[in-house]
Amino acid sequence: MKYIPLLLSCILLSCSFNIQANPNYWVKHSGDRMDIIKQGNFSGTIDLQDLENIDNLFAIGPLEGLKGEITINNSKPSISTLTQDKQQKDIASFKHKAIFLVYGSVKEWQEIVINKELISLNEIEQFVKEHAENHDLPLNKPFPFKIKGVAERITYHVIYKQDNKPHSKREHQRSKVKFSKTNESNTIVGFWSGAEGEGVYTHPNKKTHMHYISNYSKDSGHIDAIKLNSGAVLFIPKLNKK
């Protein structure tokens, strides 16, 4: 019994540290992307309306029913789905559910000018990693990030399951309807997964998951390939040091 007060003190100290270590940002997730592939489970695990009143909210994930993509940029939702003739349709509403979702909030950003071209998602991921390390963000923990700039070219998809065939990796690829844009001013909403989210809301062996929102048409979707022009700006959370 004499160890209980000490144990409670340690728990309280630990909780206090976790709360105060990074009071400027936080990340949570719901569901698991592998439930789609392995179980063909397209049901919603989280209602976006439960997040509607969160300030500075960022989120990405697939829409319930595998009928589109969810992107939330600074509490503004973009639900990208398709019409019957496969034309993209974007809806600014929280009245939807996600199969899986990574979401979080950032109060203050650190801005970093990207003074070179980044010609792939891997190069963007490496740039985010390098500058997160330089600013002492813990890479074993998740954090949101965003990029504003012009893409010389960008390819993205909107997932849209159109049949009742049993789902598989092959069927998952067939459900991706792809779009391309050139010389597009856009905002990228992304998440660094840390250890806990890799493979859960990112692809295996990837630390990042990124969606795109056009600054012109407001189209949005999951980025497959990109060539980002020099002069874009990376935003990562400021680390509030106590």
Cβ atoms of residues 224 and 156 within 8 Å: yes
The mean pLDDT of 65-77, rounded to a whole number, is 97
Confidence of residue 241 (pLDDT cuts 50, 70, 90): low
What is the reported pTM? 0.89
pLDDT tens digit sequence for 195-207: 889 999 998 889 9
Assess whether pLDDT exceeds 80 at residue 110.
yes
Tell me, what's the pLDDT at 63?
Answer: 98
Tell me, what's the pLDDT at 5?
Answer: 46
Assess whether pLDDT exceeds 60 at residue 242.
no
The mean pLDDT of 219-227, rounded to a whole number, is 97
Angle (CA) 227-188-91 rounded to 5° is: 120
* Second CATH level (architecture) for the domain 25-237: 2-Layer Sandwich (3.30)
Among the residue ranges 161-165, 172-176, 180-184, the one predicted with the least confidence is 161-165
- What is the average pLDDT value for the chain, to the nearest integer? 90
> How far is 30 from 39, CA to CA, in rounded Å?
16
> How far is 215 from 55, CA to CA, in rounded Å?
21
Q: Compute CA 82 distance to the chain's CA centroid, rounded to the nearest angstrom.
A: 20
The mean pLDDT of 25-44, rounded to a whole number, is 94
Tell me, what's the pLDDT at 4?
Answer: 44
Assess whether pLDDT exceeds 60 at residue 21.
no
Assess whether pLDDT exceeds 50 at residue 105.
yes
For residue 235, which of 101, 137, 162, 96 has the smallest C-alpha distance?
A: 137
